[in-house]
Structure 1
Amino acid sequence: MSMTDLDLAITLANEAGEILLQKWADRGRLSITRKRAGDFASEADFEAERHLKTRLSRLRPEDGWLGEETGAGPVSARRWIVDPLDGTTNFLRGIPHWAVSIALETEAGLCVGVVHDPVKQETFAAGPGPSATLNDAPLVLPEPASLEAALFGTGIPFGGMPHIDEHASDIARLMPLCAGVRRMGAAALDLAYVAAGRLDGFWERRLQPWDIAAGLVLLRQAGARVEGWKPGETPEEYGNVIAAPGAIFGSFAGVLRRADRDVSA
């Protein structure tokens, strides 16, 4: 009997996680490629992605592919979107906060998302059903009492990325109004943490599909509100994400979007 797409994604994420744990134990000897300032890939990234691509080509031969390290395959009605190692810099530095991210996109949109943290042995998963889970237990999205009590996650641009000033402005506006902001270095886990209630919201600009695809499924199935930078936009359109429980989404997004209103005023 064949596995469901969700079960397959969970199985493959665990397999890739085992590969990465072996590399993690010997990370000081890994070969490293510098993509640009502050952005790296290692042989661990490539080996995990090769494993995932090979397995999916055998088990779902008609499906398409988009991987961070190997790019896009032929166009298909179904496409797997994979980040084999989200949080490579953390991985290489010995910081135990990184994950495997696998999502499935069909013509109807993103429908399966798995974020697997091998170090902590936590698997966040969501499929076509009505809920998201953590290690098979349903996630219940809490509703923060107020913006002032909320803890947010984000990703800070690095190297020569052009939107550093924009992000500094976001933080300057938000910090006085909330309980704090965390930058933990793995967007897939940040989104999963919002779905699990560990963070009360997340925002970041100009992310790639493999950074966010699985996390978006988790967030939506957990009941979070997710939009792009402008109302009505989706993160899939431009890679910009604002996500939070409905109770604080309006005030959270309002603070972040204020810069656009100020510029147009």
Structure 2
Amino acid sequence: MALRLADAADAVSMARFDAADLDVQIKADATHVTEADLATERAIRDILARERPEDGIFGEEFGSSGSTIRQWIIDPIDGTANYLKGIPMWATLIALAVDGVPQVGVVSQPALSRRWWAATGQGAWTTTPSGEPRRLSVSTVDTVDTASVSFQSIGQWRDVGRLDALERLTAAVWRDRGYGDAWPYMLLAEGRLELVAEFGVKEYDIAAHVPIITEAGGRVTAFDGTTTLSDRSVVATNDRLHEPFLTLLHDA
């Protein structure tokens, strides 16, 4: 079901990607929204309304409706700023949460012909150039000084008063980059990074990543180490370095 939702979303989002006449508006929170964000979420909601009317939905653009016991959590275009600039680093995020815990996740990046997905107990997977699925596994790196990390943006850390933690992190690891949006989480699940951390995230920004990372052997928590999605922070790791990273980030 989640993969079919992603197929429908890809068709809508790609139809308007890099369009010269793309309609772009500014939301109340000063972020951008395009006609494609709205149309993509509508396409997903229309299918769910027909085929899963008993399920609830929580989407970035149209809010929440229905049950919270089984709830689809949707970010129609994660990386709208990239989308409206014609940069192919954006994705549709689709998760199914049961009692608040994400059990299914799909991250689809159609501009780069990439997709990742997972369901609890069924492993995490991605597409390959041959079209065959490949199972994902996080890295076995077990020391902070040999780790490669993605911290998203400096501004996020500055806004929450955590620049000191970011400086400690970047000084301690082998390599740091701000890859941005959904992609670094998928690099983590593929075993190419050891940590992704950011602030200012909503449930729809992270829910789809949780099953993919955990089924690949990783771990996802908030900055304080709890497993909530509503803290507006996230620390995702290859698991074996989770506690060392949390200690580093909180070591005043």
CA distance in 1 between partners of 2:218 and 2:205 (Å): 18
1:38 CA drift (Å):
6.0
CA displacement 1:44-99 (0-9 Å, x = unmatched): 10010111111111110100000000001123421000000000001111221110
1:252 corresponds, among 236, 245, 248, to 245
Compared with structure 1, are the counterparts of its residues 85 and 145 closer, same or farther at alpha carbon in structure 2 (3 Å cutoff)?
same
CA distance in 1 between partners of 2:157 and 2:169 (Å): 21
SS of structure 1 residue aligned to 2:200? coil
Indicate whether 1:85 and 2:77 are aligned.
yes
Q: 1:148: which partner in 2?
A: 145
Q: 1:177: which partner in 2?
A: 172
Root mean square deviation, CA, Å: 2.0
- What percentage of aligned pairs have identical amino acids? 30
CA displacement 1:117-176 (0-9 Å, x = unmatched): 101211110013241001221102111142122111123275xx7952524323211111
CA distance in 1 between partners of 2:69 and 2:142 (Å): 42
CA displacement 1:5-51 (0-9 Å, x = unmatched): xxx1111112211211111141x311111125762110010010111
- What is the one-letter code of the residue matched to 2:232? G
Q: How does 1:177-196 map to 2 (within 5 A)?
A: 177-186=172-181, 188-196=182-190
Indicate whether 1:200 and 2:183 are aligned.
no
Indicate whether 1:229 and 2:226 are aligned.
no
Structure 2 residue ranges without an equivalent (≥5): 128-132
CA distance in 2 between partners of 1:169 and 1:102 (Å): 33
Structure 1 residue ranges without an equivalent (≥5): 1-7
Q: Whose helix fraction is larger, Structure 1's or Structure 2's?
A: 1
Q: Is the 8 A contact 2:105 2:207 kept in 1?
A: yes
Indicate whether 1:211 and 2:205 are aligned.
yes
Indicate whether 1:118 and 2:115 are aligned.
no
- What is the one-letter code of the residue matched to 1:61? P
Q: 1:48: which partner in 2?
A: 40
CA distance in 1 between partners of 2:73 and 2:167 (Å): 33
- What is the one-letter code of the residue matched to 1:60? R
Q: Is the 8 A contact 1:235 1:241 kept in 2?
A: no
CA distance in 1 between partners of 2:5 and 2:100 (Å): 23
Compared with structure 1, are the counterparts of its residues 157 and 56 closer, same or farther at alpha carbon in structure 2 (3 Å cutoff)?
farther
CA distance in 2 between partners of 1:207 and 1:142 (Å): 24
Q: 2:50: which partner in 1?
A: 58
Q: What TM-score does the superposition give when structure 2 sets the normalisation length?
A: 0.90
Q: Is the 8 A contact 1:191 1:212 kept in 2?
A: no
